Structure 1
Amino acid sequence: MRNQIMILFALITTGVQAMEIRVATFNVSMEAENYVPRGTQVSGEEMFAHLASGEHPQIRNTAEIIQRVRPDILLLNEFDYHPDHQKGIQAFVRNYLNQSQSGAEPIDYPYFYIAPVNTGVDSGHDLDNDGVASGSGADAFGFGLYPGQYGMAVLSRFPIHKDKVRTFQRFLWKDMPDNLMSAVVDEQGKPWFSPAAQQVLRLSSKSHWDIPVDINGKTVHVLASHPTPPVFDGPEDRNGKRNHDEVRFWVDYLSGDKQAAYIYDDQGTRGGFKGKRFVLVGDLNASQTEGDAYKEPIVNLLTHPKVNGGFVPKSEGGVQHSPDNPLGAIHTAAWRMRPDYVLPSEAGWKVVDGGVFWPTPDEPLFRLVKDRNASSDHRLVWLDLAVK
């Protein structure tokens, strides 16, 4: 009898350890300006009207991509924030993901996390030095024409411990030791940001989140962010230097101890990562080999001792999109770079598989990515992970 119990226990334990989940990140470009002609003034409500209808072709394609890949945990970048979730993230789930798109099986996400971001939030200062503190655009804490533009959301098939989420939306850039804000200077070598602006400027252009998810009794921390593109500025390189420090934040956070002692979250709790198993996801707007971002932070993140950066998702679609670029297979954006990442921890996981949703032109599903108007200029990136 004792042997039978031990065998049963071993089988149960093995089953738990072998459980696989699919984790993905997808910059969906679901923000108001995406749904109006270029140059049109937006109110910030445009996307939510389309979510209510359930009929917008671009959003239907985005939903179909998600239905085809079927991630268990999914970060959406550039998904506008709305405080009424029934009009925002839940409308997307209800009216698009829960409905079959072109014959794909509907998918449901009973759990989600969404919160305010810094984009479009008035900083009270003239951050682009054009002589006007406009309250939006480049003068917001994160570039945005209205609060919540280019927001983030996490969808999950597993319960989220919302009471244990850590957010870093209001962490001040000046409080990061050796930050590059002090190196943002004009052509005369004078500080770009006024002394008053330096006291209030936030590090995160959107936010940084640590979201604990319960997977059959095991906790995985979803570390989500969307650092600013390192462009759209001038010789002062304020966005490039901010991207550097936004990516560096995760390096320090995961390192813990003294390296993370300066970090505090929006609830006032200090210190870095305190868990075991994590997946770091998001459009980091940085590549170790291409693009305009500083290379050191993303290299340090990919080679961090707690990060398993060895498995690089690929696609044949990327190869055919950039046939003369040897890095085309790992690209995750139509503009030919790898800005989007799913990075698991070394501890607690075994990487089983992964990829980039990028059909080739001769495949039927190419219609979902054929151009910018089909879905997004980014591709969904996924990993299959076995829980250990």
Structure 2
Amino acid sequence: MKTLIIGLSLASFVASFTTLAQTLKVATFNVSMESTNYTSLGMAPSDKVLAQVLSSKDNLQVRNIAEIIQRVNPDILLLNEFDYIADKSKGIDAFVKHFLNVPQAGQAAVDYPYTYVAPVNTGVPTEFDLDNNGKAEKFGGDAYGYGLYPGQYGMAILSKYPIEYEQIRTFQMFKWHHMPNAQIPVLPAEDGSMENGEPWYSEEEWTSLRLSSKSHWDVPVKVNGSLVHVLAMHPTPPNFDGEEDRNGKRNHDEIRLMADYLTPGKGSYIYDDAGHKVSLPKNTRFVLVGDFNAADIGDKHRPDVIEQLTESPYVNNRLIPTSKGGAALSEQDYSRRFTAYWGARADYVLPSTYGFNVQDAGVFWPPSDSPLYRLVKDRNASSDHRMVWVTLEVLESEAHNE
């Protein structure tokens, strides 16, 4: 399938019918709103920091993030690295009320009456020495997902359309070893072979480990009568490990879990946190969103990882969001598709091939000569990632793309 790269306007898709329900803009944004980004304020990292920052109502980084959201104005938005706060009035709803509902730098206020947060695996302690440094420390590399405290690097969904809360499925507890043919981390033998290598995890550790480093979510949203499944995740970065490649293998299998979930006939092994065997049926509208930590090209690309999604016949990756800011990062033509300042397409909004036509897409990354560059100049300004968005036409019946 030929891939087309786009900027802020898009080539058209041809539908097999003419009746369209409506336009829907979906976005993902890793906002770096986790506590280590606020150490300059004199606050030690903890699960209390973000609530304190939001209560101030005047943090410049958060105001800049709100301004970016107001400028792009998505209908449905996933936030990555938004620390989990169970009391939504102090967390995600405080962000909406005190920042998004307030005009930033002359932009119109936006509102998201429907929000969703849930626990994640980051910082949740285990009893094991998972990083094999000789100490079982219950945090960092010894947590179910790397984190200094429970809820660090959490996720949140904001929607202008009703979330079908009773139909939400989460996969925080799914055990890694329950995935058929999982990629088991192994230390190579002295001769360099993996066949004679030693498993990185003990049998007890392996059978206890959860696959998702944060969580995997299926959050259905009702868009004027059409159900759209928002499939959200934030797989672990495929580095910060050693020859055993434990994070690389986990990243691969976290992405595979979602690929199997959306592929009819492949997700029969998957169970949600309620213990139900679940996967998506054929002809389901969905949009994959998140920081997947998986480049599709360049020196950070790992073969056969993101391709589990981008080359799926059920996923539309034909039109790739780009930006002028990303293009300036290197002389390589593909840098236009970068979504992170460290030079990779890491963040994705991927709609299903069923039920949508793609109208437009982009990455919010103004170039350095733009007056809006102030919003993205570094992580303290907003984030080390950029917002990615796709505008879709929600079709009343299936379309055929040409």
**Partner in structure 2 of residue 335 of structure 1:** 342
- Residues 287, 298 of structure 1: 8 Å contact kept: yes
**Partner in structure 2 of residue 367 of structure 1:** 374
Deviations 1:281-323 (A, max 9, x none): 000000221354632131121011111110100111111232x
Q: Are 1:205 and 2:208 an aligned pair? A: no
**Partner in structure 1 of residue 28 of structure 2:** 25
**Partner in structure 1 of residue 45 of structure 2:** 42
- Residues 231, 292 of structure 1: 8 Å contact kept: no
Offset of residue 38 of structure 1 = 11
**Partner in structure 1 of residue 7 of structure 2:** none
In 2, distance between residues paired with 1:292 and 1:192? 24
**Partner in structure 2 of residue 8 of structure 1:** none
Give structure 2 stretches of 5+ with no counterpart: 1-16, 191-196, 396-402
Q: Are 1:377 and 2:380 an aligned pair? A: no
- Residues 232, 289 of structure 2: 8 Å contact kept: yes
- Residues 32, 379 of structure 2: 8 Å contact kept: no
In 1, distance between residues paired with 2:207 and 2:309? 28
Offset of residue 44 of structure 1 = 2.2
Give structure 1 stretches of 5+ with no counterpart: 1-12
- Residues 43, 49 of structure 2: 8 Å contact kept: no
- Residues 211, 223 of structure 1: 8 Å contact kept: yes
In 1, distance between residues paired with 2:84 and 2:358? 32
Match of residue 252, structure 2, among 244, 247, 266: 244
Query: How is 1:321-360 mapped onto 2 (pairs within 5 angstroms)?
Result: 321-322=329-330, 324-360=331-367
Deviations 1:72-131 (A, max 9, x none): 000000000011111110111011111111111111000011100000001221100011
Instruction: Calculate the TM-score normalised by the size of structure 1.
Output: 0.93
**Partner in structure 2 of residue 185 of structure 1:** 187
Cα distance, 1:261–1:38 mapped onto 2, change above 3 Å? farther
Q: Are 1:301 and 2:309 an aligned pair? A: yes
In 1, distance between residues paired with 2:104 and 2:117? 24
Q: Are 1:233 and 2:241 an aligned pair? A: yes
In 1, distance between residues paired with 2:387 and 2:303? 23
Instruction: Calculate the TM-score normalised by the size of structure 2.
Output: 0.89
**Partner in structure 1 of residue 285 of structure 2:** 277
- Residues 76, 153 of structure 1: 8 Å contact kept: yes
Offset of residue 366 of structure 1 = 1.0
Q: Are 1:170 and 2:173 an aligned pair? A: yes
Q: Aligned with 1:260: secondary structure?
A: coil
Higher relative contact order (CA 8 A, sep 6+): 2
Q: Aligned with 2:290: secondary structure?
A: strand
**Partner in structure 2 of residue 264 of structure 1:** 271
Aligned length: 372
In 1, distance between residues paired with 2:126 and 2:180? 22
Q: Are 1:215 and 2:218 an aligned pair? A: no
**Partner in structure 2 of residue 7 of structure 1:** none
Deviations 1:40-93 (A, max 9, x none): 742221121110111000111011000000000000000000111111101110
Deviations 1:220-277 (A, max 9, x none): 00000000000111121110110010111122111132x2111111011113213610
Q: Aligned with 1:253: secondary structure?
A: helix
